[in-house]
Every structure is written in C-alpha cells, then in structure tokens.
C-alpha cells in the first residue's frame, strides 16, 4: 500500500494515520476557568517538545474546554495516566457541559499543585505543572485547519516517590498507557523496556547534567 493523502485512496474503511504515529503519549490536561471551575480531559496529540526549558504541547480540535480554560487563566497541569487509571482517563473525555467537572464525573480526586492553581489527578503516578506560552493555529498546505497547538512551559514536576528507585525514575513500573489508532491503546511495563546508548559524543543521558 502506498497512497496519496489528498486522494485518500488507501481503500481502507478508516484512515490509518493515527495507527501509524503510535503509540502516542496521552497528556491528561487539567485547567481552571476564570470562575475557578475545573476541567480535565485527555489529549494524545501531545508530547514533550523541549527540555531546555521543559516544554510540552497538545493539539486541540477547535476550541475545546481545555484550550479555552488555559487561554483564560494561563496555567494547566498534565497528569500521566496508567493501566489502573485507563477507564477513568477515558471517562474524562466525555463531552460534559463547560464547568461540569470531569474529575467528579470519572470518580477522580484532585490533588493541589505546588506552582500553578489547577490541580493534578491525585492517583496519577506523575504530573507536570505548566504555564501557558502560546497557542499556534495550525495551517496546512491548503490554509487554515481546525487544529490549535497549545504550548506550555513546565514549572513544576510531581512524581510519586514509589516510582523513584536508586535515583532513576522507573517509568515502566508506572505502567503508562498510550494511544494507538481506532479504539486501540497500549500499556507498557518492564518487559517492553530496553536500553541503547548513542554513539560517543552523541548526547547520552549521562554526558550532561539535568
């Protein structure tokens, strides 16, 4: 198979794009609106985009509450879901009316952040506390799109100490879940972790501090 995206002549019942750029990390975004009402929803067009400074971004299809709230108050948190939280994470994607808490709807408890006002998901193994930097409307070869890239700088990091061993974060022990295409997700654990070192001078993790 080798197809033109414009012609969409893949002959498949569903567009395979999101099953190829996969598995994708899920940013579980919490933000407050001007009235202090909380919103929490998952975004898998999400990733880290810089580590100096720490920056993350997610892409919103139009003006959803996460983007609207962040643009109102300038802060958000990004919790990381895992195998145990998979159903709750999914529940928070329900299209609730603005101002109705998806955390309450999904039976999740908030935990206070240290450096921003929006809370994080208490049960999540890790979370990033972020200040909004900018929203970039995404343009395509044809012009405007429906998508907006929301970029934030990480000012605080929460890690459940259970997952810090001998000075290293044990990501695999967190059992993070990731998004595939269609209705597919991936959960990873220690069996999927392997190590590789980069060619000398190529920027191995232990060649620099931070």
Ligand X SMILES: Cc1cc2nc3c(=O)[nH]c(=O)nc-3n(C[C@H](O)[C@H](O)[C@H](O)COP(=O)(O)O)c2cc1C
| Binding of ligand X by 75 (CB under 6 A) | no
| Binding of ligand X by 171 (CB under 6 A) | no
| Binding of ligand X by 60 (CB under 6 A) | yes
DSSP 162: G
Tokens 């609207």 correspond to what residue?
A: 68
Positions 76 through 115 that interact with ligand X (CB under 6 A): 90, 93, 95
Q: Which stretch binds ligand X (CB under 6 A): 15-23, 42-50, 160-168, 195-203?
A: 42-50
Q: Which stretch binds ligand X (CB under 6 A): 2-10, 39-47, 134-142, 188-196?
A: 39-47
DSSP 198: P
List 45, 76, 132, 158, residue binding ligand X (CB under 6 A): 45
| Binding of ligand X by 70 (CB under 6 A) | no
* Cα of 115 vs its chain's centroid, Å: 19
Task: Give just the sign of the alpha carbon dihedral 60, 63, 65, 70.
Answer: positive
In angstroms, the Cα distances linking 40 to 51, 88, 102, 112, 120 are 24, 11, 6, 14, 9
Give me the residues that bind ligand X (CB under 6 A), please. 26, 39, 41-45, 58-61, 64-66, 90, 93, 95, 179
């Amino acid at each position: 198979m080798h197809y033109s995206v414009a012609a969409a002549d893949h002959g498949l019942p569903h567009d395979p794009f999101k099953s190829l750029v996969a598995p994708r990390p899920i940013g579980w975004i919490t933000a407050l609106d001007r009235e202090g009402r909380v919103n929490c929803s998952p975004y898998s067009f999400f990733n880290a985009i810089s580590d100096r400074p720490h920056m993350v971004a997610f892409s919103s299809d139009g003006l959803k509450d996460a983007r609207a709230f962040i643009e109102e108050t300038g802060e958000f948190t990004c919790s990381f879901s895992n195998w145990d939280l998979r159903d709750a994470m999914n529940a928070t994607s329900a299209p609730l009316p603005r101002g109705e808490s998806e955390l309450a709807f999904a039976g999740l408890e908030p935990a206070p952040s240290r450096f921003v006002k929006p809370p994080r998901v208490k049960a999540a193994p890790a979370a990033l506390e972020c200040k909004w930097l900018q929203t970039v409307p995404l343009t395509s070869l044809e012009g405007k799109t429906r998508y907006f890239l929301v970029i934030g700088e990480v000012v605080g990091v929460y890690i459940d100490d259970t997952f810090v061993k001998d000075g290293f974060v044990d990501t695999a022990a967190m059992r993070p879940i990731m998004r595939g295409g269609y209705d597919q997700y991936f959960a990873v654990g220690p069996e999927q972790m392997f190590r590789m070192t980069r060619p000398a001078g190529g920027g191995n993790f232990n060649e620099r501090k931070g």
